[in-house]
Chain A
Amino acid sequence: MSEHTAHGVHVASLRLLVGVMIALMIGTWLTVSVTHYDFGFLNIWIGLAIATTKAILVGLYFMHLRWDKPFNAFVFISAFAFLALFIGIALIDTQHYQDVLIPGWPVE
């Protein structure tokens, strides 16, 4: 499945790269298809789950994180962790004063 050069560098096989690309294309088709069904509030989470699966595939195989030093993955993933924190706290904050800003909030 994978080869190494004389210097011990990992080389991804062409079959693997093509396979990942096909998986990403199927993921794109899936993301568009599920928008035709109404799962209520779940729609956005299904879409995000598919997008995140695609991003993980790109990271693991196209970006070689699977064979890389774990510290590189740690650096990259930490950016997403801090982004999640940023989004989460911003949402908690903004939802605490929506009832003051918008009459009738929250919409029941």
Chain B
Amino acid sequence: MAAHHHEHGHDPSVAHHFESAEQQRQSTKLGMWVFLATEILFFGGLFVAYTVYRVNHPEVFVFGAYFLDTALGALNTVVLIFSSFTIAWAVRAAQLGQLRLLRWLIIATMACAFVFMGVKYVEYSAKWKHGLLWAGSYNPHLEHGDEPAAGHGEAEAPSSTTGAPEAGAPADPDRSTIAPAAEGPHGLAAPAVAADPHAMPVEPANARVFFSIYFMMTGLHGIHVLAGIAAMLWLLRCLGRGDFDGGRFTKVDMVALYWHVVDIIWIYLFLLLYLID
């Protein structure tokens, strides 16, 4: 810090190892893009798990998606897209030095983030109520009397089948307990529910896998939304102490880039989890 005193005319907002404010801005931005690339790879592991399970066991995903509310998912998509718009507008406001507008746009984006988390809360509590949870916590107890006919997972094999191999025979631990539809119990072809296309599909073995993947993916995304709220609170603090005076907008720009990635990931999560027919 003391070095600043020796350089007359040195911009205090530019760190010493940078030639100019522009070079500093470009370096910050490159660092942010590298971080965002690691974020994509962070979620990437979960997308790999999703793809491998869905390709090999599509019936598990058809069953699981039945319990997700497409309307709430679509509402959250609209809310996030709108918040992406407000934070993109906030960058413009910061660039043009419109600080009052900037404050309102940051607050609007935060409000959208809270609405998103509120809708998520409604969705999560419905899953919680029905025991549609991850892995070992999966213990469905559904209302309306339309319990899945195939029992609650691998332990209870369907009893209605004749001649077909048992879906849940735990004889060989290395063997998948999920029978493909072609040779599985007749329940998978669902003759009983064929009359009503909106009836709940019969529960396949290992339906819990869907809910494990659902909670991991939306949970990690939700944590990112919370981090986004924290980042925007930080922006408001920076705004209050005058960091954005004189058209300095890098911090707003970086938080906006992060927020857009949260939006992009949700665009895919909505499609891949909610819109399975």
Residues of A within 8 A of B (CB): 5-9, 11-12, 14, 17-18, 20-21, 24-25, 28, 31-32, 35, 38, 43, 47-48, 50-51, 54-55, 58-59, 61-64, 68-69, 71-72, 75-76, 78-80, 82-83, 86-87, 90-91, 94-95, 98, 101-108
Contact = CB atoms under 8 A, between A and B. Distances in A.
B193 interface: no
Nearest to B70: A32
Contacts of B92: 11-12, 14, 17
B180 A75 contact: no
A95 B274 CA distance: 25
Nearest to A62: B88
A69 B264 contact: no
A14 B119 CA distance: 29
A52 to B, nearest CB: 9
B81 A31 contact: no
Contacts of A62: 84-85, 88, 256, 260
Given A12-B88, A48-B271, A75 B37 contact: yes
Given A47-B275, A82-B41, A91-B52, 7 more contacts: A7-B247, A17-B92, A28-B77, A59-B264, A61-B88, A80-B40, A90-B48
Contact of B37 (A9, A11, A79): A79
Interface residues of B, number: 58
Interface string B74-111: 10011001101100110110011000000000000000
B81 A87 contact: no
Given A101-B174, A101-B176, A58 B48 contact: no
Interface centre among A5, A68, A75, A79 (most CB of B within 10 A): A79
A58 B263 contact: yes
B186 interface: no
Given A9-B95, A58-B263, A68-B29, A47 B271 contact: yes
B247 A63 contact: no
Q: Main SS of the interface on chain A?
A: helix
B81 A75 contact: no
18 contacts: A7-B22, A9-B95, A17-B85, A24-B84, A25-B78, A28-B78, A35-B277, A47-B271, A55-B268, A68-B29, A76-B40, A78-B37, A79-B44, A80-B40, A87-B44, A90-B48, A94-B56, A104-B183
A58 B165 contact: no
Interface in B20-52: 21-22, 26, 29-30, 33-34, 36-38, 40-41, 44-45, 47-48, 51-52
Interface in B204-244: none
B200 interface: no
Contacts of B37: 75-76, 78-79
B180 A107 contact: yes
B175 interface: yes
Which 5 pairs, one residue from A and one from B, show the smallest C-beta to C-beta distance? Answer: A79-B37, A21-B85, A79-B40, A104-B183, A83-B44
Contacts of A32: 70, 74, 275
B257 A63 contact: yes
Contacts of A86: 44-45, 48
B180 A83 contact: no
A4 B173 CA distance: 64
